[in-house]
Structure 1
């Protein structure tokens, strides 16, 4: 790799293992060479549509697989990729993001026809889910660059990058975060590449089934991490636990990643399909959502697997990790900081720092200044630490609650 750049992750894998399968969805698959070519087409497509370094590209696609070439292509073009999952598209504050381009599913299919989802059919949305929606008011001629009388405010770390090749410090991803009022966390190319580095979360060889819901903010890092290891990513053909179980069985996956809710559904559907897993990972932004009983149930269904849980947020990436054995020995722990993350307690609040941190909140200097000081991110979580360095979250700090409830600027 020539640098800590998102686009270089795929290019490096394509040079080292061009014929190895990079991505599988249903009966369709891409090698690393084919994926690399699709990412180049995406970058050229964005350039042809007038996207320049530092511009924001919104992608409300209903298929993670179809959006992945655009995600990498935007990084190669130096653009800021703005993934919009259904809840975010409806709940985020109007005007928080002014995209230069809103990608359509037709454009994604043109870039990589092999990964295009089947045509949508009229059906009721799943319980608890809102239908997909573009961000805020749709621009005239959706999918085309739109002119604005005044340019949008730059994101933290964005400045005026101008033309030229993207750099490690350029923003590449805008992730929406809560609780309370939704904010956009800006992640640089360098931080994104380091979050996906194999040393942060070591992976076993073999295929990964990514069971994170479509549009989940962490899915992009999970996929990129597997590609850093030059391994295969399997994305279920449909939503729901049955499709996740089928993907694990069909592809003899070594690892399954999901939220606590995904794992609960999988364990209730077909736990016998999980017995061959070598690694079972639970990812959550609320450690209390991964209770000991869940990790015990995963351990029972995957007797030969390493059962791990990760506390991660859009602002920090992976923050702490703990294993099944830790839960038995230290009830209530959220583990220890992952490699590259420093943690300290300041007046009972958990602060962290390191190269995985975000750059700040877009168009919200007040929240950025309150959260990031002297290189430390104030998580707003009350915590304690035992003599072996294990952390325990004990609630939310008042300052964090006030930041969440603050009105839009």
Structure 2
């Protein structure tokens, strides 16, 4: 079964029920189906065929959903691009995925044909295209940075997404009676793989926001009165700013708050529980595997842990590293056989995360074998920033580390050995021109030398402590 056949529980079975709210407008499931049929017809007219890649660089909007569903119906591989990415990062994804076209709201770098979103005018009517897709067909190519700094595309299949949605709907009791508020970006698997798919398989009513804006958050909650919300720790820190009376009211109509994409501090967990009357459900997933482990919906949601393996997913710890296998694991990395082979050990996916298991089966993440930084839910691999810094003529050596931050969880800080003088403001400007804003180091610390082992490896734990 492919995803569209699964989504037909809602697209066909609940076609007259309101599916989506966005920007003050509402759309029934039948209209969501018809809009994507028309978009698929436009794509066919423009030459898109099964197996082609289509890159999409858009903020949250109804058209992005139309595009995604049209790709699924045609067998076109959907390639979302983080809208915070700059030219350097975009060009790499365009070169690596080799797409037929890229859809964006503004001009894009590179030579790939550009389709401007506002110029996509589908036909008035169109039938659903015929499809021979099965569960093993690739649905999306989602890029995630590697420890070497090279961004790799994880091949996520219809089965990967379907199993993930079915697991979450079952384990988190998501149903057609839910009212789902989604403020996360659809270019990220948190919103795409969890949010969009849980919505379409359950048949619930979803309000999609273009972005999370903490100044407007309380008004959105009070107006829509959701029962379900997915967030990252940074968002939950912001929700703690709600006045006590508003927090109590929101807690009264909410059913479930879920947190992921970065570790949630026990302090935030406890403070949120005190103010909203809800224990946030924390879970653990990856771009390559979608969701792996989750605290239970009915049962103890243990602060500081990510819970228990989801149904059908096996987990083991080898030399401290959490490894897993199951139908949620991606089909490998796009056109990278060596990276795919290195990611698996006897059929088990090597997550690179260090973890421990309690006697009663709860998993706790202790850190990463790599030096991955997670800032506000976004993955930052220091090597990528270091390589860019080393391209600057004034810099001889560079090391980037993550330091704790109350709002974002972690932030990157760069330690620099210079050849010739350069100030932090100039480095900041150069980084902002070439890197996504969340990757720009918060500070540039000039040091005489970087601590190294006898073999020349930088010992980041010996760098001087950073203070704001």
Residue 142 (structure 2) pairs with residue 175 (structure 1): yes
After TM superposition, list the pairs within 5 Å mapping 1:10-409 onto structure 2: 10-88=7-85, 90=87, 91=89, 93=92, 95-105=95-105, 134=108, 136-140=109-113, 142=115, 165-178=132-145, 180=147, 181=149, 182-197=151-166, 198-203=169-174, 205-213=177-185, 215-221=187-193, 222-236=195-209, 239-269=212-242, 272=247, 274-275=250-251, 276-284=253-261, 286-287=262-263, 290-303=264-277, 305=278, 307-322=280-295, 326=300, 332-397=304-369
Q: Which position in structure 2 is the counterpart of 1:156?
A: none
TM-score by length of 1: 0.78
What is the CA distance between 1:355 and its match in structure 2? Answer: 0.5
Instruction: Give 3-state SS (helix, strand or coil) of 2:311's partner.
Output: coil
Q: For residues 103 and 200 of structure 1, do their structure 2 counterparts lie closer, same or farther at Cα, with a shift above 3 Å needed?
A: farther
In 2, Cα distance between equivalents of 1:57 and 1:183? 16
In 2, Cα distance between equivalents of 1:192 and 1:202? 18
Contact 1:383–1:392 at 8 Å: present in 2 too? yes
Q: For residues 235 and 246 of structure 1, do their structure 2 counterparts lie closer, same or farther at Cα, with a shift above 3 Å needed?
A: farther
Contact 2:182–2:207 at 8 Å: present in 1 too? yes
Instruction: Give 3-state SS (helix, strand or coil) of 2:96's partner.
Output: coil
Q: Let me know the Cα RMSD of the aligned residues.
A: 2.9
Q: Which position in structure 2 is the counterpart of 1:116?
A: none
What is the CA distance between 1:202 and its match in structure 2? Answer: 2.9
Deviations 1:33-91 (A, max 9, x none): 11111111122121111111110011111224320111111011001001112234543
Deviations 1:302-354 (A, max 9, x none): 32x453011111111111112698565xx632211122211011222111010
What is the CA distance between 1:140 and its match in structure 2? Answer: 4.8
What is the CA distance between 1:263 and its match in structure 2? Answer: 1.7
Deviations 1:191-218 (A, max 9, x none): 1111111225432532100121453332
Q: Which one has the largest radius of gyration?
A: 2
Query: Between Structure 1 and Structure 2, which shows a larger proportion of strand residues?
Result: 2
Q: For residues 227 and 259 of structure 1, do their structure 2 counterparts lie closer, same or farther at Cα, with a shift above 3 Å needed?
A: same
Q: For residues 397 and 32 of structure 1, do their structure 2 counterparts lie closer, same or farther at Cα, with a shift above 3 Å needed?
A: same
What is the CA distance between 1:103 and its match in structure 2? Answer: 2.1
Q: For residues 360 and 200 of structure 1, do their structure 2 counterparts lie closer, same or farther at Cα, with a shift above 3 Å needed?
A: farther
Instruction: Give 3-state SS (helix, strand or coil) of 1:102's partner.
Output: strand
Contact 2:50–2:75 at 8 Å: present in 1 too? yes
In 2, Cα distance between equivalents of 1:388 and 1:404? 35
In 1, Cα distance between equivalents of 2:138 and 2:35? 22
Higher relative contact order (CA 8 A, sep 6+): 1
What is the CA distance between 1:405 and its match in structure 2? Answer: 5.2
Q: Which position in structure 2 is the counterpart of 1:129?
A: none
Structure 2: segments with no counterpart, 5+ residues: 118-129, 374-380, 388-468
Contact 2:102–2:113 at 8 Å: present in 1 too? no
Q: For residues 58 and 293 of structure 1, do their structure 2 counterparts lie closer, same or farther at Cα, with a shift above 3 Å needed?
A: same
What is the CA distance between 1:360 and its match in structure 2? Answer: 1.0
Contact 1:199–1:339 at 8 Å: present in 2 too? no
Q: For residues 260 and 213 of structure 1, do their structure 2 counterparts lie closer, same or farther at Cα, with a shift above 3 Å needed?
A: farther
Contact 1:6–1:72 at 8 Å: present in 2 too? no
Instruction: Give 3-state SS (helix, strand or coil) of 1:218's partner.
Output: helix
Q: For residues 170 and 87 of structure 1, do their structure 2 counterparts lie closer, same or farther at Cα, with a shift above 3 Å needed?
A: same
Structure 1: segments with no counterpart, 5+ residues: 106-131, 145-162
Contact 1:341–1:354 at 8 Å: present in 2 too? yes
Contact 2:60–2:209 at 8 Å: present in 1 too? no
Q: For residues 138 and 350 of structure 1, do their structure 2 counterparts lie closer, same or farther at Cα, with a shift above 3 Å needed?
A: same
